[in-house]
Amino acid sequence: MDVAERIAVVTGATSGIGKATARRLAAEGSHVVLLARTDSDLEAVAEAIRAEGGTASVFPVDLADREAVESTAAEIRSAVGDPDILVNSAGIGDWVALWEAESGQFERIMAVTVFGAYNLARQFLPSMLERNRGYVVTIESPAAHGPIPGATAYQTARYALRGLSESLRVDLHSTGIGVTSVIPGVVDSEYFERNDGVEERLPGTAKSLDRLDPATVADGVLEGIRGEKNRVYKPETLRLLVLARRLFPNRFDSYTAERSWQPSRSE
């Protein structure tokens, strides 16, 4: 699918992969609709896009709030038009074991990461189906393909997001709507600054990968849309780790658990 002269909604658009993807889509001719919680941060990204010759609209929204998502979707349709592309990049990156989680923390991680993507797809897919044209991209995580000790809520949300993406791919296979999962390794972004303790809990398999520039992952998004690919791995060697876990799950899980975060005796 060509991205020029398309309306592309990008969540998590104020930092990291979401921001890089929005800028790349705009540079390739899409009108990008930027979604995140903070209006001032959204405007800063939009101004940068416009300075580069692109076009952008901003819609601040809390993806955990279903009613807010529904009203924002209606505003987008009214002010900009029916989206052709939806990129689900937003998610909460708290890495905590089940017993470490604060009250409501698990629910919010699920609400933003999973239900935010679900509710946006629910809002925009009907018009895509009517036009027999559209694309849904989900930024996944290696955490949806193998164990990450000490990150119960995060990993649960990522598995659910993977399930949503794979279900949509099957449901939409006979339509003109494509679904791509982009699976990046460790990305060099503000993620680690905003999520204390995550870097220390990275399993050895993740630490063995070079850190990616968010722009490289954005390239993967464009690669997936234009090539209508089911999955895009960045780096490509990550595919081998996913395959190894699929072929040897017991050994892979044991190896990861033994060389990763361990709960203290007091826990």
Determine how β-strand 7-11 pairs with β-strand 55-60.
unpaired
Which residue carries 């990305």 as its tokens? 187
Sequence-distant (≥ 6) Cβ neighbours of residue 118 within 8 angstroms: 164
Query: Count of CB atoms within 10 A of residue 79's CB?
Result: 10
Q: Strand, helix or coil at 147? A: coil
Contact at 8 Å (CB) between 213 and 158?
no
Contact at 8 Å (CB) between 165 and 139?
no
> How far is it, in rounded angstroms, from Cα 103 to Cα 100?
10
> How far is it, in rounded angstroms, from Cα 131 to Cα 138?
21
> How far is it, in rounded angstroms, from Cα 66 to Cα 61?
10
For residue 206, which of 247, 149, 249 has the smallest C-alpha distance?
149
By the 10 Å C-beta count (0-12 exposed, 13-18 middle, 19+ buried), 209 is classed as middle
For residue 34, which of 103, 80, 1 has the smallest C-alpha distance?
80
Q: How far apart are the first and last CA of the chain?
A: 50
118 classed as catalytic: no
Using only the alpha carbons of the chain, give its radius of gyration: 18
Q: Which of 154, 159, 233, 255 is catalytic?
A: 154
Active-site amino acid positions: 154
